[in-house]
Structure 1
Amino acid sequence: MDSYIRETPETLRNKCAACFRQFNKLEHLVEHMRTSYHSVHEPACGICRKHCRSFESLREHLIGPLPKQECRNIFSTRGCRFCLAIFDSPYALRIHQDRCQLSGLNGSGVLGRLSNLGIRDNLAMDYSGRSTRGGAGPQVVALACKMVGGGSDGSLDICARVCLIDEFENIIFHSYVKPPIPVTNYRYETTGIRPEYLRDAMPVRQVQKKIQDFLCNGEPMWKIRPRSGGKARILVGHGLDHDLDRLQLEYPSVMIRDTAKYPPLMKTSKLSNSLKYLTQAYLGYDIQSGIQDPYEDCVATMRLYMRMRSQNHRVEDYPLASDPQNRNNFASWRQTELERMTPEQMLEISRSDYYCWCLDSN
């Protein structure tokens, strides 16, 4: 059984180089490294370098309710409350936060943009977008839906509006969707949708085919592989399983980037955060007030994705614990060899158990 103990020269050897947990025996540290999947892709404190499983855990480490006092003191004057980075001076922090805190799309922003563009249901555009980091990686699009209610009590979600944007926040596709079953609750207070908007809308089957064909981009579904240099597009969203189910649309999970399921953006309890919370906490503005527009949700998820993708992590040839080359890093038959390693050496061979979005830009 592991426990926290007072540091001595002897026990320092049993201290995890990532999360700083201390163990009574070296074999317990080895078992911890075997199951923790520490890696360069974990959020880490810019002061003490402690690794955290999520940004929420890092936020707790820095600002409470029980923070590390030294880190809290420095963070209070030189730390960004959005990306949680530490800067050399308060002045450098102010310059950074002007860029890090993004403006919202409420008021005339999103509504004005949509009124100028109108509802777009044509996916035949020539999309040739490239990564904002200058690379020629997979094209990225964000999708969001708004649901009305069906069933006797109006609780059954039916997709009634869908939006698709590119990584530069340009609208690719935006359409009302004709429900396949009767609507019993239009949820007007949040959707703004009226019966007449759906009367002559595009049928869900047609919407599904248009979006699926666009995402696959001429590549057969069975052939789509991650990091394969194919033509299929990366799909970003929040709670995409539900949206895709309501659209009756299938897409390979390896090409999906869901802000509701991405470990660094989840709660310390490993539950999902709401998109509203993530936007406020990590982008610095509010969404989903009053009548909600799917374009606003698309922009928020795309900005969260781009922020996570732009992290500057050390490049590794085989970054995932599931990569065949890492299969034996912590194999039980290596136990004696592992116990001879220093904590730093064990961290060096440890790999992530989730796909970090920074890999999309490599």
Structure 2
Amino acid sequence: MEGRNKCAACFRQFNKMEHLVEHMRISYHSVHEPMCGICRKHCRSFESLREHLIGPLPKVDCERIFKDRGCDLCLTIFSSRNALWAHRSTCQFSRPNNAILYRMASLGIQDELRIDSSRGKAVALACKMVGGGSDGSLDLCARVCLVDEYERIIFHAYVKPTLPVTNYRYESTGIRPEFLRDAMPLKQVSRKIQDYLCNGEPIWQIRSRSGRARILVGHGLDHDLKCLELEYPPMLIRDTAKYPPLMKTSKLSNSLKYLTKAYLGYDTQTGIQDPYEDCVGTMRLYTRMRSLAHRTQDYPLATDPQNRNNYASWRQTELERMSPENLLELSRSDYYCWCLDSN
């Protein structure tokens, strides 16, 4: 009877170990995930962490501490209220002042794209669409803006659509027919932007080696690129609408308006919308995510070949000696963390 009980205990321990190993395989908890600074809980997104700290059903102890000394923008916990107040002045952004830019754009002023390495490696792109088709529901790019990492304008122009415009959507775009009369043709705009992003190299070379190409930042970039009739390698695209830490707990995209308010602290896209504001918002979100201080790993992605045999049978004894926390450290992320761009 004693031997049978001992065997049963060993079997339960084995099952527990198998469960932990399997948990590592499918949870993808890693150093790149948002984590509660109080109880160290791993969360799949910042929205999940926000619910954990603020609600609607927060953890009581974490909520109490967070209300006292937690930043509701970056969700960091600080050692004191004074430290929180000092941090808040740098964490909260103000809305970019684009009044002068808007008046210039209304006059039809267009910029030339010049390849300049001093502007950084990342570029934010945003478009504003007018309507085409019989009911005006077809999106046609009529205005485009590119901004560098320092929020300086690289390119800003009206675009002449290839199809007739049936709805200028003036209430949100501010675009009038006269603005597009002498606008730059779509194909010319697309060629200028692609040449700049590829640093003057052919697109097929960029796909094979991305060392000199620029990182393209934006929100809903698939749609913008489609309307611009422009192709760009997915490995160089950083889309705030598809980045897992910035998505909803349901894995759906958040709007740029919400992300700007929740993570940067100011309102945007009110009244007539300017693509410059969208560029600045996405670039600020990107640089904030890129600057997160995560522990470095030699092979950070679960898809890296070196991580595929982490749990070989000969390591069973080694795994059994580890605590659950140490076991989770062996797990890797299933998405590319933008902090890796800073390396």
Q: Same fold (TM over 0.5)?
A: yes
Are the counterparts in 2 of residues 158 and 246 from structure 1 also a CA contact under 8 Å? Answer: yes
The percent identity for this pair of structures is 72
- Greater CA deviation, 336-345 or 188-197? 336-345
1:317 positional shift:
1.5
Aligned to 1:21: none
Alignment of 1:346-361 (within 5 A): 346-361=327-342
Q: Distance in 2 between matches of 1:126 and 1:39?
A: 36
Are the counterparts in 2 of residues 190 and 290 from structure 1 also a CA contact under 8 Å? Answer: yes
Are the counterparts in 2 of residues 145 and 161 from structure 1 also a CA contact under 8 Å? Answer: yes
Aligned to 2:250: 269
Structure 1 gaps of 5+ residues are 1-9, 15-23, 131-138
Which structure is larger by alpha-carbon Rg, 1 or 2? 2
Q: Distance in 1 between matches of 2:110 and 2:260?
A: 26
Are the counterparts in 1 of residues 110 and 158 from structure 2 also a CA contact under 8 Å? Answer: no
Alignment of 1:1-362 (within 5 A): 25-105=16-96, 109-115=97-103, 119-124=109-114, 126-130=116-120, 139-224=121-206, 230-330=211-311, 336=316, 340=320, 341-362=322-343
Q: Distance in 2 between matches of 1:300 and 1:255?
A: 19
Aligned to 2:5: none
Q: Distance in 2 between matches of 1:32 and 1:311?
A: 26
Q: CA RMSD in A?
A: 2.1
Letter aligned with residue 238 of structure 2: R
1:349 positional shift:
1.4
- Classify 1:344/1:240 alpha carbon distance in 2 versus 1 (closer, same or farther; 3 Å): same
1:199 positional shift:
1.0
Q: Distance in 2 between matches of 1:350 and 1:220?
A: 38
Q: Distance in 2 between matches of 1:170 and 1:122?
A: 14
Letter aligned with residue 180 of structure 1: T
- Classify 1:96/1:193 alpha carbon distance in 2 versus 1 (closer, same or farther; 3 Å): same
Q: Distance in 2 between matches of 1:85 and 1:217?
A: 37
Structure 2 gaps of 5+ residues are 1-8
1:97 positional shift:
0.5
Give secondary structure in 2 for the equivalent of 1:148.
Answer: strand
- Classify 1:78/1:151 alpha carbon distance in 2 versus 1 (closer, same or farther; 3 Å): same
Spell out, residue by residue over 1:135-172, the C-alpha distance to the aligned partner (whole angstroms, 9 max, x if none): xxxx0100000000011111010000000010000000
Are the counterparts in 2 of residues 218 and 231 from structure 1 also a CA contact under 8 Å? Answer: no
Q: Distance in 1 between matches of 2:181 and 2:335?
A: 43
Are the counterparts in 2 of residues 30 and 338 from structure 1 also a CA contact under 8 Å? Answer: no
Q: Which has the higher helix share?
A: 2
Q: Distance in 1 between matches of 2:55 and 2:143?
A: 40
Q: Distance in 1 between matches of 2:56 and 2:103?
A: 45
Give secondary structure in 2 for the equivalent of 1:224.
Answer: helix
Q: Structure 2 length normalisation: TM-score? A: 0.91
1:235 positional shift:
0.3
Spell out, residue by residue over 1:181-236, the C-alpha distance to the aligned partner (whole angstroms, 9 max, x if none): 0111100000000111111111100011000010000333233369x671100000
Letter aligned with residue 300 of structure 1: G
